[in-house]
A and B are shown apart, each in its own frame.
Chain A
Amino acid sequence: MSEQRALLCDTAEAVFAEAATLGMAPVEEAGFGQLLLAEADGGFGGDWGDLFAVLRIAGANVPSMAIGEHIVGQWLGGEVTKPYGAFIRVAQAAGAMDAALAMSIDYVNTRQQFGKPLGKFQAVQQVLAVFAVEAAAVNVAGAAAAAALDRAAGDAETALFEIACAKLRTNKAIGQATAIAHQVHGAIGFTREYDLHKLTGPLLDWRSDHGNDAYWGNVLGTKVAKLGGAGLWADITAR
């Protein structure tokens, strides 16, 4: 992680914490809208890996806020199209899933039943391991899609294969991970009072946003069918 990115992430943590109560204003004031714009144009000159890192933090702290649309919209100079939107949701989901995982681990380490913390029960450990693997998959997929966008100088059509893969994989992970998060939390996680739904609610919504499984499955399946069996491996390794 570059020094610039570390700094950016620290700022994002602080700004998005404020945004949780004050809305978009602090985000706009901090200039996040200029993240992708070139330094020559008065922007921050950030790359797509930087954007991924920032949107992860947004996904964990202010999941429902349209920060990605704000940033990418400024760079595009218009509405975000499906591929960009899908990338934004993947990045947000990476953060929201890690946050929900952290909450879940925290909870099972604290909540006692049968005379010990829930986290000491093997059944609970095993499902949280599955959760961690799914969260890891989303994080890797998002980072790899960002790298593809960087290689393509931000052209989503060139990076469409990676974006489609990342969105499909994320949608799959969300299904499993949100179910596990709620299961290990028991009834308390099903309440309005407790914060878990602030992560799992948006996560579930994001599966529909900017193309659901059927949409991206069709896009990717069409591409791969044309490549042919051997062509798929040749294509993946040439990227």
Chain B
Amino acid sequence: MAVNMQQSFSIYPFDPPGDVAALRAEVRAFLAAHEPKLGVPNCWVVGDPEFSSALGAAGFLGMILPKTVGGHERHPLERYVVIEELLAAGAPVGAHWIADRQTAPLILRYGSEEAKTRYLPGICKGQLYTCIGLSEPGAGSDLAAVRTTARYTLDGWRISGQKIWTSGAHMSHVMLALVRSEEGSERNAGLSQFLIPMDAPGITIRPIIDMGGDHHFNEVFFDDVLLPEWAMVGARGQGWAQATAELALERSGPERYLSSHVLMTALIDAAGPDPDLQIKGLIGELTAELWTLRQMSLSTAAKLAAGEDPMVEASMVKDLGNSFEQALPQRVQALVDCPSTRDDDLARLMRALLIAAPSFSLRGGTREIIRGIIARGLGLR
């Protein structure tokens, strides 16, 4: 049986510099001081500007950004420790989440000087929020089909078109949008990224209410919106490569398996110190999956921090994390008696997550698209 013994996913040690235990203790002390706000299910979509400002003031945002723009020049893995702690506690991190996770690193890497000085300090303070303008009515999984245009004129860039499913557009200050900057270009050529202030004349934001009754995402319309030249991010026509790099950041984090951790906590608390065999079995199995996901996510984070591009690994974490989080409320429901009249923590969190769970394998790239990326990594495409 001659086989290629390349490991399908070799683990990298997670070796952040500095005193990790002290950093965790710092975050836990901060969280303890904000107790009533915690325990939120699906917590990285729930925004609380007051909480975000407090996090910024405590030095937990913009951790990897330079001090010159208000950042803290910490190691990416120290940032990882902080977000793990926030998510595990169910902290309402939704307001600043996208800005801190992906827009800030992208602006730092590709943005103009003007964009850096204008936006990064506010992001570090937890007071400037951003949203992602990728999807359009005709461009979902097929993202290269975007049609929103940027026309180069004597005054600057003119943006026209529409984005959809934009999370948090209504509470964001800036959108990072992928648009077609070359007339007549097709597919992933001729696209550029722009930073669009959400209060610019010509922008209309319309809420889309989700099936849980919450206002989370939106439609955004651009009617000849005028932007200065510095609003373009990176090189003209390089938007596709930049957007894909951004997606790697979006897919690898602990939010792919920890956003529902509060249900796990509630399950264990409700079970008490000596539950029956079936409940013990469920808790054991869920713990094994959680622990394994964490090892995978940590390892991927270590690769990212080392400057590698673990696209396939990040996709594996997202796929497995999505499946774990989607199954969690259903497995609790199957074993714990939670009639719809029951109204304690466990029942409330379970119901909220049953409703939220379908979105997990949609946002950030659907399950099918993610598995296509993994299949390409296996040499099948």
Interface residues in chain A, defined as those with a beta carbon under 8 Å from any beta carbon in chain B? 1, 9, 13, 17, 20, 56-57, 60-61, 94-95, 97-99, 101-103, 105, 108-109, 119-120, 122, 124-126, 128-130, 132-133, 135-137, 139-141, 143-144, 147, 162, 164-169, 172, 195, 198-199, 213-214, 216-222, 224-230, 232-233, 236-238
Contact present for B291 and A236 (CB under 8 Å): yes
Q: Which residues of A contact B378 (CB under 8 A)?
A: 105, 125, 128-129, 132
Contact present for A220 and B288 (CB under 8 Å): yes
Q: Which residues of A contact B289 (CB under 8 A)?
A: 169, 172
Contact present for A217 and B280 (CB under 8 Å): yes
Q: Which residues of A contact B287 (CB under 8 A)?
A: 165, 220-221, 224, 232
Contact present for A98 and B10 (CB under 8 Å): no
- Report 9 cross-chain contacts, Cβ distance below 8 Å, ordered by A residue: A60-B5, A136-B316, A137-B293, A172-B288, A217-B281, A220-B287, A225-B272, A225-B283, A236-B291
Q: Which residues of B contact A237 (CB under 8 A)?
A: 24, 84-85
Contact present for B272 and A98 (CB under 8 Å): no
A229 nearest in chain B by CB position? B265
In the complex, what's the smallest C-beta–C-beta distance from A41 to chain B, in angstroms?
A: 28
Q: Which residues of B contact A119 (CB under 8 A)?
A: 380
- Interface check B271, CB cutoff 8 A: yes
| Given the contacts A20-B1, A143-B10, A133 and B375 also touching, CB distance less than 8 Å | no
Contact present for B265 and A213 (CB under 8 Å): no
Contact present for B372 and A125 (CB under 8 Å): yes
- Interface check B268, CB cutoff 8 A: yes
Which residue of A13, A165, A169, A199 is within 8 Å of B5 (Cβ)?
A13
Q: Which residues of A contact B1 (CB under 8 A)?
A: 20, 60-61, 99, 195, 198-199
Contact present for B292 and A216 (CB under 8 Å): no
| Given the contacts A165-B291, A198-B1, A228-B269, A140 and B11 also touching, CB distance less than 8 Å | yes
Contact present for B296 and A140 (CB under 8 Å): yes
C-alpha spacing A204/B136, complex, angstroms:
46
| Given the contacts A99-B3, A169-B288, A221 and B281 also touching, CB distance less than 8 Å | yes
| Given the contacts A164-B288, A165-B292, A95 and B316 also touching, CB distance less than 8 Å | no
C-alpha spacing A232/B88, complex, angstroms:
10
- Interface check B284, CB cutoff 8 A: yes
C-alpha spacing A124/B21, complex, angstroms:
45
C-alpha spacing A127/B10, complex, angstroms:
21
C-alpha spacing A108/B269, complex, angstroms:
47
Which residue of A95, A139, A227 is within 8 Å of B10 (Cβ)?
A139
C-alpha spacing A118/B70, complex, angstroms:
54
C-alpha spacing A221/B283, complex, angstroms:
5
Which residue of A17, A219, A225 is within 8 Å of B275 (Cβ)?
A225
A162 nearest in chain B by CB position? B291
| Given the contacts A61-B1, A217-B280, A133 and B320 also touching, CB distance less than 8 Å | yes
In the complex, what's the smallest C-beta–C-beta distance from B336 to chain A, in angstroms?
A: 14
Contact present for B284 and A220 (CB under 8 Å): yes
Starting from the known contacts A165-B288, A224-B283, 4 additional A-B residue pairs (CB-CB under 8 Å) come to: A133-B320, A221-B279, A225-B275, A225-B283
- Interface check B368, CB cutoff 8 A: yes
In the complex, what's the smallest C-beta–C-beta distance from A56 to chain B, in angstroms?
A: 7
- Interface check B4, CB cutoff 8 A: yes
Which residue of A108, A132, A137 is within 8 Å of B296 (Cβ)?
A137
Contact present for A141 and B295 (CB under 8 Å): yes
Indicate the member of A56, A57, A224 with the most B CB atoms within 10 Å.
A224
Contact present for A98 and B5 (CB under 8 Å): yes
Q: Which residues of B contact A222 (CB under 8 A)?
A: 274, 280
In the complex, what's the smallest C-beta–C-beta distance from A27 to chain B, in angstroms?
A: 16
C-alpha spacing A99/B292, complex, angstroms:
21
A173 nearest in chain B by CB position? B292
Contact present for A214 and B291 (CB under 8 Å): no
- Interface check B264, CB cutoff 8 A: yes
A214 nearest in chain B by CB position? B281
C-alpha spacing A227/B281, complex, angstroms:
15
- Interface check B154, CB cutoff 8 A: no
Contact present for A135 and B275 (CB under 8 Å): no
C-alpha spacing A69/B7, complex, angstroms:
23
- Interface check B381, CB cutoff 8 A: yes
Contact present for A232 and B265 (CB under 8 Å): yes
Contact present for A221 and B282 (CB under 8 Å): yes
In the complex, what's the smallest C-beta–C-beta distance from B214 to chain A, in angstroms?
A: 25
| Given the contacts A230-B265, A232-B264, A218 and B379 also touching, CB distance less than 8 Å | no
In the complex, what's the smallest C-beta–C-beta distance from B376 to chain A, in angstroms?
A: 8
Q: Which residues of A contact B261 (CB under 8 A)?
A: 233
Contact present for A172 and B7 (CB under 8 Å): no
Contact present for A228 and B273 (CB under 8 Å): yes
Q: Which residues of B contact A167 (CB under 8 A)?
A: 288
- Interface check B319, CB cutoff 8 A: yes
Q: Which of B5-36 contact A (CB under 8 A)?
A: 5-11, 13, 21, 24
Q: Which residues of A contact B370 (CB under 8 A)?
A: 129
Contact present for B381 and A125 (CB under 8 Å): yes
Contact present for B292 and A232 (CB under 8 Å): no
Contact present for A126 and B371 (CB under 8 Å): yes
Q: Which of B84-100 contact A (CB under 8 A)?
A: 84-85, 88
